[in-house]
Structure 1
Amino acid sequence: MEQINQDLKSAIRNFYIAIPQINKEITNILRQIELKSGQVLSFEQITALSIIHSNESITINELAEEQKIFKTAASKRIKKLEECGYVQIFPTDDKRLKAVCLTLEEELLLEEATVALTHSIKQCLDCCKTEQEFEEFVEQLIYFKKLFI
């Protein structure tokens, strides 16, 4: 059990070192893409766009719950993204709720970002010597996602 505790401590230390580097890489790629579009987005706006993208259509209330923010903050965030041309707001069957979806322009920007991130991460994962090592790595990521999300 002591060895497991030591291994866990080591993994957590490495995790704390790796996460800022991963965030830095993602931010750099997104900034390059933003320069092309002329808009600079906050991390929270980028997160909102990713959530909208993965849900196709989501209400502002659902987005607020997903981002763990107040509905008024989510509304302001979406309004700014709409002004930039990244999202469209449309009514739902429930007249009290509004849904959000990405514009074609934003779909293309997210696709470009995904391609760039995939390339960057693939370079980092060249340390995986075999396909099995890579598959184990991906399985671990999925496992951690399930634990923390």
Structure 2
Amino acid sequence: MNDMEPTLFDSYRDLYRPYVNSVNNRLAKHQLYTSQWVVLRLIKIRKSCTLAELAKETRVEKPSVTRIIQKLIELGYVEITAGDDKREKIVQLTLLGFEVYTSIEQELSTYLNELTEGINKADLRIARDVLSQILEKLLK
């Protein structure tokens, strides 16, 4: 066994799968996975998005975003309308999508607060800022 202290990246890797699995378990009743939730959440925050904007913001290939949107359409959570340029597709939540979003947001907010309970708010802010700085470097 290696007696070296784990790096930040080791800790992130160790956290990632259990976190995603746990969130996926909560999303399953809505027939969603975390990747779909990220897209649904972004659409809610922005009110509407193009497929290109969704791909850029989520850092996911456009064909993958298209598949996610197709699934969200099948579930009745989003709808697509034509933009000013007929080739542009605007995605927005349906009424059902808004209701599902609100339900999930409440449940996940409670759950995530439970996960971070007892952790100093300043420490959480520092952790978020550190991860953001690393992301910036990765995206350069």
Superposed pair shares fold, TM > 0.5: yes
User: Within 5 Å, which residues of 2 pair with 1:136-147?
Assistant: 136-147=123-134
What is the root-mean-square deviation in Å for CA atoms of aligned residues?
2.4
Aligned length, in residue pairs: 132
Distance 1:53 1:11 in 2: 32
User: Within 5 Å, which residues of 2 pair with 1:1-149?
Assistant: 9-32=6-29, 34=30, 40-66=31-57, 67-70=59-62, 72-128=63-119, 133-148=120-135
Distance 1:10 1:74 in 2: 32
Secondary structure at 1:127 match in 2: coil
Gap runs ≥5 in structure 2: none
- Residues 24 and 32 in structure 2, CA contact (< 8 A), matched pair in contact too: no
Secondary structure at 1:94 match in 2: coil
Q: Which has the higher helix share?
A: 1
Gap runs ≥5 in structure 1: 1-5, 35-39
Q: TM-score, normalised by structure 2?
A: 0.76
Distance 2:9 2:82 in 1: 45
Calculate percent identity across the aligned residue pairs: 23
